[in-house]
Amino acid sequence: MVLIWTKFSVLILAGLANGVIRQGLNGQWKVTGGPNKTLTIDAYVPGGIFSALMESGTIGDIFYGTGDSNYSWVGLTNWTYSTTFTVSEELLNSRVVLVVFEGLDTFATVSVNGHEVGTSENMFVRYNFNIRDQLQVGANEISVQFASAVATAEALAKDPSNEYVIPPECPVPEYKGICYVNRIRKQQASFAWDWGPAFASVGIWGLTEIIGFDDAFIEYLVATPLKNPDDDFWTVPLSVYLNAGEIAAISGTIDVSLETEKGVRTSSFKFNETVDEFEVKVTTTLLVPSSEVSTWWPNGYGTQSTYKLLVTFVSEHERDQSTVHIGFRTVELVQEKLGTGQGLSFYYKVNQVPIFAKGANAIPINILPERSQSLNLAPLFETMKSAHMNMLRVWGGGVYNVDYFYSLADDAGIMIWQDFMFACALYPTDDAYLKNVVKEVKHQVRRLASHPSVVIWAGNNENEAVLAQDWYDTMDNFTIYKNDYVKLYVDVIRPEVLKIVPNATYLTSSPTNGLESDQEGYVAQNPGDSLYGDVHFYDYTSDSWAPETFPIPRFASEYGYQSMPSIESWLTATASLDDLRPDSAFMDYRQHHPGGNDQNVDLIELQMQLPDPESENYVKAFIYFSQILQAQAMKIQTEHYRSFKGRVNEKGEGNTMGALYWQLNDVWVAPTWSGIDFTGRWKMLQYFAKDFFNPMIITGRLTDDNLEVYAICDGLELPNVTVKGLVQVYKWESLEPLIAVESPISLDLYKSVPVTTIHAPTALQTAGCGSDYAEAKKKCFFHLRLLDQGNNILAPFNYIFPEKLKNCALAKPAVKIESVEIVDLYKKIFSVTVSTDAVALFVWLDTHEVKGVFSENGFLQVLPSKTVNFTADSRVTLEELQAAVTVTHLSDPAYL
């Protein structure tokens, strides 16, 4: 049925029927339990046991020291949440009264006035239990008894009726983690990961309310606009999911109103449907003229308009309303043969425009799921937007985020690659497990599908690779596990997604060869094939600053290097600076990646000269050098991927259309792959991302003796200026370029364009760096600029080091903070001016305890004076900032 809009009008609702009654159950509850069942403390809902124990002072800060081990007993015991609430006569007169839990973590038995009303076994499902018959007018009691998730997972794994093991049973010892998490539908990382601690929480982590109704209430709205390229209207399939309780049929009217740019369009239709398992799905299709709405675009390609769609359900005894904000865009994951005949493409096309995906992978916003409900996420999205990101992969070992997260993504133009919550493991496929998963998929897809930001659903993270690369010694029984894999992601999850959104894009895994994997029975021989699909790339032994180290894939959906958080962040986790040495027992404790601390030191020492481990400033240097190592490695790798946009090599590799680095955020203070640390401080990587993801960049690679320079431009339009590339040669000790080679270029939105190729030995000789290339490389470096005819700067400055920095004759510049001034006190913006008398590398401004971000940091300074802005997180005086701010650089004498 296609819904015909009646007219533009103001919707007038019939005032006859009563509304659905909603009564929140959030706020102060009590929780009892503990190893001796003797603890009773206040607990806030939404909340979790670790938060409650910390807030009541029962335990200390779990993020301090070895808190994850000290407090592991919390996850081993049962806990009961309870509260009382008042029921009115009006509520009790409803035909159905449900208690609705947005999130129960994980195994709970819910009782009302001593009567059991339901149980839960999936943290990602919304539970409704009918409690009407247990209620009385006046005071009532509700209790939620949680069984230990650790004990339950173990019992499930050891059930004698299991036919075979589902590996891995336990994480590697370095994780200091808990076993059998793949048996349960709980955030997989809550039993530890390589970047995070084990906190096997329980709790009521989502909002809770009571709903009373006579006929039905609106449980979900799904509206997902579609458009054929030639149409001048959008087709919007709309599904209204009504919960009707136990009743045979339900009839009523659905009123729809959409606020377009031309006014409010309204329409209305009647329905009469039978109820199936408490539920009725009422569907229609709306047609919206393209002229009445603006298209939703990813960040960097246009604006992000969304429109309010209001649905009102009216029946004999009821009236209920629900709203979604929809965006008008088309999305396609293009996998088609390329001109070269090798492999298939793999890229996102939004509104018919191929998009180079730029962004990162997100781990859980907080390891305690309840905390991700209340954090202010707006700064995180502002950060991504300022770094020109347009995609975020919500990774499968965490949680589906709160609605507000996706609304912010809609507004920021951040496309969400949404994994289902399965990662790095095999999973059960018995009937009970699959039924449980189906509930989860139904709930999550219905809840999130209307967000224009959600562009793809992916079955899992790395589980195709788990099988193909035999991570857990499953090759002998490959067929058993492969069949389970296909059953779960292809036969069960995929059709559930398509039932809700027939035009959804579904990808079975990541990394995957996509259609090629499907051809090979869903598990490809090599799911990381660079000619197909996406790749995840990690290598901690090769040169991390050499483009040759990196693959040339269609799409890089994960890649990363570790670094250390800042000292101030570390001091929230330990009091001892000695703990921050890479060989300390504490660093070994917090380093979950096997061999990580040694790898980090080796990777640094391949490029730079760390100070003597005995020197006073070693820890400070190690932290700073580790951030340089990571930032520069990620810059070189990302620019390498961008330089293969629209370009292939002789093997047919290339046409790269995505770079999502691992990882955006942190859940504790540890050596990890993040760009933003647990305290919200930016590592150098996050500053570099602003430059390496800039819509226009100039980049280069030195292979053999040739410096190849490329320019890349993303977006919908080329700049209306004549563009030139400038390659300069500098000596380390001078701020004057020795030579400059100018090349006119024609930028191309669809491909990386060669700017020039320079014979490096000749260029260095001409510049006066010396005729012996090996020696000349140590004295000089290349500096790249993208300019218009008026020499206006179009892209961030770039630089290529012809030699490893540890071998170079670096200058010893005098780098100083010249001034700190107020720019806008109301907006907390200050300016900081830094001076130097020679080339200064990785100039790093730090405000220590004063939190905030600079407009630029970690830069290479070739100008005698450079001014950047600092925006403080909270109010600070000029004097306080002047006292706090310090500057360092690679050749800082403090490190000698």
Residue 64 CB partners (closer than 8 Å, separation 6+):
572, 573, 574
String marking each residue 263-302 x if it binds ligand NAG according to CB under 6 A:
---------x------------------------------
Interface pick for ligand NAG out of 70, 519, 792, 819 (rule CB under 6 A): 70
Q: Phi and psi at residue 725, in whole multiples of 5°? A: -100, 145
Q: Phi and psi at residue 598, in whole multiples of 5°? A: -65, -40
String marking each residue 49-68 x if it binds ligand NAG according to CB under 6 A:
-----------x-----x--
Q: Quick check: is 174 catalytic? A: no
Q: Of 197-226, which residues contact ligand NAG (CB under 6 A)?
A: 226
Question: Using CA atoms, how far apart are residues 168 and 136, in angstroms rounded to an integer?
Answer: 48
251 near ligand NAG (CB under 6 A): yes
Any idea which residue has 């900081």 for tokens? 832
Q: What share of the chain is helix, strand, coil (3-state, %, to 5)?
A: 25, 35, 40
36 near ligand NAG (CB under 6 A): yes
Question: Using CA atoms, how far apart are residues 94 and 135, in angstroms rounded to an integer?
Answer: 11
| Residue type present at position 548 | E
Residue among 310 and 353 whose Cβ is closer to ligand NAG: 353
Question: Using CA atoms, how far apart are residues 753 and 556, in angstroms rounded to an integer?
Answer: 20
Question: Using CA atoms, how far apart are residues 274 and 281, in angstroms rounded to an integer?
Answer: 10
String marking each residue 461-500 x if it binds ligand NAG according to CB under 6 A:
---------------xx-----------------------
Interface pick for ligand NAG out of 228, 376, 791, 874 (rule CB under 6 A): 228
Contact 425, 477 (CB under 8 A): no
Q: How far is the CB of 829 from ligand NAG (least distance, A)?
A: 5
For residue 130, the surrounding DSSP H or E stretch is strand 127-130
Interface pick for ligand NAG out of 869, 873, 880, 884 (rule CB under 6 A): 869
Interface pick for ligand NAG out of 548, 717, 736, 849 (rule CB under 6 A): 717
Question: Using CA atoms, how far apart are residues 447 and 425, in angstroms rounded to an integer?
Answer: 26
Residue among 2 and 10 whose Cβ is closer to ligand NAG: 2
867 near ligand NAG (CB under 6 A): yes
Contact 627, 678 (CB under 8 A): no
String marking each residue 729-758 x if it binds ligand NAG according to CB under 6 A:
------------------------------
Q: Reduce the DSSP state of residue 618 to 3 states and report it.
A: helix
For residue 270, what are its two tokens? Answer: 């009647």
For residue 181, what are its two tokens? Answer: 């998490």
Q: How far is the CB of 612 from ligand NAG (least distance, A)?
A: 30
Question: Using CA atoms, how far apart are residues 68 and 199, in angstroms rounded to an integer?
Answer: 6
For residue 425, what are its two tokens? Answer: 């493991």
End-to-end CA distance of the chain: 76
Interface pick for ligand NAG out of 376, 720, 746, 791 (rule CB under 6 A): 720
239 near ligand NAG (CB under 6 A): no
The stretch near ligand NAG (CB under 6 A) out of 31-39, 305-313, 610-618, 624-632 is: 31-39
Number of residues forming the site for ligand NAG (CB under 6 A): 30
Burial of residue 637, with CB atoms counted within 10 A of its CB: 0-12 exposed, 13-18 middle, 19 or more buried: buried
| Residue type present at position 2 | V
Interface pick for ligand NAG out of 26, 268, 855, 882 (rule CB under 6 A): 855
Q: Phi and psi at residue 90, in whole multiples of 5°? A: -60, -45
Q: How far is the CB of 557 from ligand NAG (least distance, A)?
A: 23
For residue 237, what are its two tokens? Answer: 């399939």
Q: Quick check: is 462 catalytic? A: yes
The CA-based diameter of the chain, rounded to the nearest angstrom, is 94
Residue among 333 and 493 whose Cβ is closer to ligand NAG: 333
Q: Phi and psi at residue 591, in whole multiples of 5°? A: -85, 105
Interface pick for ligand NAG out of 246, 616, 818, 824 (rule CB under 6 A): 824
For residue 630, the surrounding DSSP H or E stretch is helix 618-643
Catalytic residue (one of 102, 219, 318, 462):
462
Q: Of 305-344, which residues contact ligand NAG (CB under 6 A)?
A: none
503 near ligand NAG (CB under 6 A): yes
Residue 888 exposure: Cα atoms within 13 Å on the Cβ side: 19
Q: How far is the CB of 316 from ligand NAG (least distance, A)?
A: 8
Question: Using CA atoms, how far apart are residues 459 and 448, in angstroms rounded to an integer?
Answer: 15
Contact 410, 243 (CB under 8 A): no
Interface pick for ligand NAG out of 19, 24, 35, 521 (rule CB under 6 A): 35
String marking each residue 509-538 x if it binds ligand NAG according to CB under 6 A:
------------------------------
Q: How far is the CB of 855 from ligand NAG (least distance, A)?
A: 4
The stretch near ligand NAG (CB under 6 A) out of 35-43, 367-375, 530-538, 758-766 is: 35-43
Q: How far is the CB of 553 from ligand NAG (least distance, A)?
A: 26
Question: Using CA atoms, how far apart are residues 25 and 28, in angstroms rounded to an integer?
Answer: 9
The stretch near ligand NAG (CB under 6 A) out of 535-543, 574-582, 658-666, 821-829 is: 821-829
Q: How far is the CB of 75 from ligand NAG (least distance, A)?
A: 12
Q: How far is the CB of 475 from ligand NAG (least distance, A)?
A: 8
Q: Reduce the DSSP state of residue 83 to 3 states and report it.
A: strand
Residue 172 CB partners (closer than 8 Å, separation 6+):
594
19 near ligand NAG (CB under 6 A): no
Q: Phi and psi at residue 294, in whole multiples of 5°? A: -95, 150
Q: How far is the CB of 3 from ligand NAG (least distance, A)?
A: 18
822 near ligand NAG (CB under 6 A): no
147 near ligand NAG (CB under 6 A): yes
Residue among 77 and 643 whose Cβ is closer to ligand NAG: 77
Residue among 329 and 783 whose Cβ is closer to ligand NAG: 329
Question: Using CA atoms, how far apart are residues 82 and 199, in angstroms rounded to an integer?
Answer: 22
Catalytic residue (one of 558, 639, 653, 803):
558
Closest CA to 389 of 431, 357, 347, 430: 357
Q: How far is the CB of 587 from ligand NAG (least distance, A)?
A: 16
Any idea which residue has 């407009």 for tokens? 855
Residue among 38 and 352 whose Cβ is closer to ligand NAG: 38
Catalytic residue list: 462, 558
Provide the binding-site residues for ligand NAG, judged by CB under 6 A: 34-36, 38, 60, 66, 70, 77-78, 147, 164, 226, 228, 249, 251, 272, 476-477, 502-503, 717, 719-720, 823-824, 829, 855, 867-869
